[in-house]
Amino acid sequence: NAGVMQNPRHLVRRRGQEARLRCSPMKGHSHVYWYRQLPEEGLKFMVYLQKENIIDESGMPKERFSAEFPKEGPSILRIQQVVRGDSAAYFCASSRTGPRETQYFGPGTRLLVL
Amino acid sequence: GESVGLHLPTLSVQEGDNSIINCAYSNSASDYFIWYKQESGKGPQFIIDIRSNMDKRQGQRVTVLLNKTVKHLSLQIAATQPGDSAVYFCAENPTDKLIFGTGTRLQVFP
């Protein structure tokens, strides 16, 4: 049973470009969460999605960031017009029935903005 | 604001000794707590969890203790091994998202 999959594992972008991060949850999981981690810090919640719905985006910056989890395909975290401060590791997690159970994490995407 | 913090940013232990990693949380509404292990370049790996109706829970070589009175959580690792070297995070789940602490780095030396 494959775990949470994320790609790309590493992504380099220049300031002003767009970054697209993909996450495929564990089989049978319909709840997806995105977190951001700066070096030497804990993970910070960004957004919680179910299929075709954003449930909680309270941790998402108001501008340039968006997330989706379509009926078919992976969840996408999109960052438009990236700035150097967006450089971080972005982790996706999934759970089967909801947020009050164990969330399993993917390997992360490390975004570097030049 | 809500926060989960750790007392010791780095913990060095000798192989074979027991390790204790501590964590304080501030949200009284939290009723579910999780410990994750994160190795360099990898995502957080679930270790053990505990709900607020319990004081203690044991896994393989790991034990989590919860003291709701003082809002304190600890992770005990028995017979620490080199493979236990990593950063350990506690997290609380009061609503629909995990709130992570800043982490404790565990270093195991021979």
pLDDT digits (tens, 9 = 90+) for A29-80: 999 999 999 877 889 999 999 988 999 999 999 999 999 999 999 999 999 9
Q: Residues of B with CB below 8 A from A104's CB?
A: 46
In chain A, what percentage of residues exceed pLDDT 70? 99
pLDDT tens digits for range B43-69: 999 999 999 999 999 999 999 999 999
pLDDT at B8 over 50: no
Residue of A34, A106, A99 whose CA lies nearest to B93: A99
pLDDT at B3: 46
User: How many other C-beta atoms lie within 10 A of the C-beta of residue B57?
Assistant: 15
Paired tokens of B64: 């989590």
In chain B, what percentage of residues exceed pLDDT 70? 93
User: How many other C-beta atoms lie within 10 A of the C-beta of residue A1?
Assistant: 5
Paired tokens of A64: 């340039």
DSSP H or E segment with residue A67: strand A65-68
Percent of chain A as helix, strand, coil, to the nearest 5: 5, 50, 50
B96 to A103: CB separation less than 8 angstroms, yes or no: no
Residue A91's pLDDT band (boundaries 50, 70, 90)? very high
Smallest Cβ distance to B97: which of A56, A104, A106?
Answer: A56
The reply to whether A107 touches chain B by the CB within 8 Å rule is yes
- Is the pLDDT higher at B95 or at B47? B47
Separation CA B99–CA B83 (nearest Å): 26
Rounded to an integer, what is the distance from CA B78 to the centroid of its chain? Answer: 14
Min Cα distance B105 → chain A (Å) is 10
Q: What ranges in chain A are assigned the alpha helix state H?
A: none
Min Cα distance A76 → chain B (Å) is 18
Residue of B23, B45, B1 whose CA lies nearest to A58: B1
pLDDT at A42: 85
pLDDT at A1 over 50: yes
